[in-house]
Structures are given as C-alpha cells and as structure tokens.
Amino acid sequence: MDHNHSDVIVAGIGQTAVGEHWDRSLRQLAAEVVRAARKDAGNLVPEVMYVGNMLAVSGSRQANLGALLCEEVGLVGTEGVTVEAADASGGAALRMAYLAILSGDVDVALAVGVEKVTDIIGPESESLIAHMLDADYEAAEGLTPLSLAELLFHRYWIEYEPDREAFAGFAEVAHANGATNPYAMYRKPIGSGAYQRAIVTEDTLNLFDAAPYADGAAAVVLARKDSLPTGWDQPLVSVIGSSVVTDTLSIHDRPQPLVWDAARLSIERACRMAGVMPKDVDFFEYHDATSLHTVLSLEAAGFASQGQGWMLADPKMIGLEGQIPVATFGGLKARGNPIGATGIYQAVEATLQLRGQAGKNQVRDARLGLIQCLGGMASTAAAHVLSV
C-alpha cells in the first residue's frame, strides 16, 4: 500500500483550560483530554500513545508516563512512551505519532501533551524550567530561559534599533484573541497604553513580553484516512508536512545568536514536504514565549527580513483579519504556556480553525495552517503544516 502523507487525518482533539490546576493531578488532566480526543474521533482505539512532557520527572516525581496514561484511560497493553524536547515536547510527540502512521505500521496514533507546572512553586520552579538550557554552561551560571531571552532581546535592540513601542502589537493581538478563547488563561484584552506603561527600559522585556508558564493538557488522535469510522462527518484536516530540527543547546555556540537556524529549517522542511511556501498559509501559530521568540520566529519563517520582525506587530498584519493571523486563540502569551503541551495545543487550535469550528476566533476561509513550537532558545524546533 502506498502511504500518502495527506492521508494522515486529525481525527479527534481534546484540551483543558490552561491555568493553575491545583486540585487536579497530571494523570487526571491528561486522561481527560485523551478521552475527549478519542470521543471526538468516534472512539477510535490508538495503537500508540506519545506523551509530550518536560517537568513530570523533576517536578511531579513521575516517570514512565506512557504506562501511567495508558492504564488511566483503559489502554493497558498499548505502546506508550514519553517524548521530551523541552517546550517543543508536544510538537515532537505529534511528529512521532505522524511518523508512526506514515510508516505503515500503525493506523491510529495518539499524541498528548501535559504539564503540571504548579506541582513545584517558588524559585525551585525556575530552576527546574532552566533544565532546558545547557546545564554546564548556562543554567549553572544562574541563567533561566527568561533571563537568556532578556539578554538576546538586549542584543536585538542594539543591533537593529527597533521601535520599542511597536512590540505592543504582539501582546495586544494575543490578548484580544485570548479574550474569546474559553480555554485561555487570560481572557481579557490589554487596555490601550498598558503595554507602553509597562516598559521600564527600552532594551529589556516587560511584563507583557513574556508568556506565563501554566498547567494544561491537550491531545490529538491521528488516523489513516481509510481507518476513520463509517459515517464520518467532520471536515478532513490532514497533517501534510512535519519536521523537527535541532540547533546548539547553548546560545554561545551559535555564530549568530539572533538567527535561529532550527526554527527556519523546520518550517522550510515542513513546507517543502507539504508542497507549499510559508507565505501560502492562512495562519501561523508561533511560539511566542517572549517577544524575542515572536520576532525571531517571524524572521525565521520568512515573513520578515532579519531584524525587521518587529515591524509586523500591527493588527492589520497579524490580527484575525490580517495578512498573516498569528496566535489565533491567544498564543502562549494569553492562552498560557503549558511547556511540553504547547505543541499539541497548537495542533488542536489549528484543527479548530481548519474545521471552521473556531467561533469568534475563526480566520476567514482558513484552508492551510502552520504551527511551530520551540524548545528553549530554538535548540529544538518542531513545525507542522495542516490543511483541509
């Protein structure tokens, strides 16, 4: 049988609200979305389950999530393993599920992302999140992902002298979109001038430049087209391009720290596989962990030249009615950043867009979507193209 990649269908989706789930465990959050995604997929039975997660071992003292979740949802005996790639873990899990089907060995695969950030609080939380950096040369020196992004933002500001106030547009668009997403952590728009008032100094990130780490879980069931249940009546959303690329773990090992090669290559490869150009897509779910990530992602994807990504921070460009809608459900900034689950949330959101089920967040005539999540400072980049 010839296995065409356009036959890999997103058959089912599930997500929890992103936030602080003090009363619910890692296994409860994950089980809820696995059941929801399977129900959405007409109760298809997955043959494999890939779990995107970063913090469970260190924060929740729980390893072997594949066995834990397969048991929790009544799939004992199913192949299940954890996939870890920092905050690209969800995108990497999605790729594993995609490749499993493409291999011809599996008809139905499940990718689930889950993170329980609130199992650790205070300074210890920052140190565990810093595990995504180089332990010997970055984290050991006291760097965290946020402080490293801050240093790079400072460098960006010196090299390109952007209009500092322009960055407001990224946060404003994200929060406007998050306001109508019932699963978002922050569901209200930013008032006019709030971003500018939060600027302390021109060359540093402010409160509105960083996405909040949070708890959450999301799941997708992928299936070969000929495995879908009879009477299937959902729009057929396909994964038509997929790529995971790595770069150096340490920023100091890169000749140009403001050029994120893995981010660029993962999009180039996923788009080449899909037979499209990035400019062809109807929306882009990017990894807006900070405003630095936002501009470098737009530049890596080719939507802006090097040093000019900040010029796109305008609702006419990136709003739901804009030329390249981004963060259509609030992105990491307003939906929240559930680290290892982020890539799966993006896949769920892209599927809602392409099915025409995005409600007030709907991008008009959405037929082609690009999603990308980044591990650390784009040390790992996972990109997928979905179409309907």
- The per-residue pLDDT for 125 is 87
- Give the domain extent around 109: 5-122+211-387
Domains in the chain, number? 1
Residue 303 placed within a domain: yes
Grade residue 2 by pLDDT with cuts at 50, 70 and 90: very low
Give tens-digit pLDDT for 152-177. Answer: 999 999 999 999 999 999 999 999 99
Residue 196 placed within a domain: no
Grade residue 230 by pLDDT with cuts at 50, 70 and 90: confident
Residue 28 placed within a domain: yes
Give tens-digit pLDDT for 66-118. Answer: 999 999 999 999 999 999 999 999 999 999 999 999 999 999 999 999 999 99
Return left, alpha or beta for 238; rule: phi > 0 is left, psi -120 to 50 is alpha, else beta.
beta
Residue 187 placed within a domain: no
Residue 115 placed within a domain: yes
Alpha-carbon span 217 to 61, nearest angstrom: 18
- The per-residue pLDDT for 194 is 92
pLDDT of 320 higher than 90: yes
CATH number at residue 224: 3.40.47.10
pLDDT of 255 higher than 70: yes
Residue 26 placed within a domain: yes
Return the ∠ at Cα 25 (arms to 19 and 27), rounded to 5°: 115
- State percent of the chain over pLDDT 70: 98
pLDDT of 373 higher than 50: yes
Return the amino acid letter for 322. G
Residue 377 placed within a domain: yes
DSSP character string of 283-321: EEE---SBHHHHHHHHHHTTSS-TT-GGGG-SHHHHSTT
Residue 216 placed within a domain: yes
